Amino acid sequence: MAHRELNLRERRAIEDMLNAAIPVREIAAEIGRHVSTIYRDIKRNGYTDTELPELNGYYGVVAQRTATQRWA
């Protein structure tokens, strides 16, 4: 099986479903990816700020930009 990056549409779907409090296993099933792929992407691209905790979370657009820069 070939390696395939998450695309922006998938990352936005992850963001929307996380905001709707859908479990990661259901998110993975919905977008057709393995659960560990979703967990890794959330861990790798999650945003945490101690001064502005209301902004903490996963942002699909930021995750896509980070991934694009990482492979450039």
pLDDT per position as a tens digit, 15-46: 999 999 999 999 999 999 999 999 999 999 98
- Domain around 31: 8-71
Is residue 27 situated within a structural domain? Answer: yes
Whole-model pTM over 0.75: yes
The token duo for 33 is 């990816």
**Structural domain count of the chain:** 1
| Cβ atoms 23, 11 nearer than 8 A | no
How far apart, in whole angstroms, are the C-alpha atoms of residue 65 and residue 37? Answer: 17
Is residue 48, in this structure, part of any structural domain at all? yes
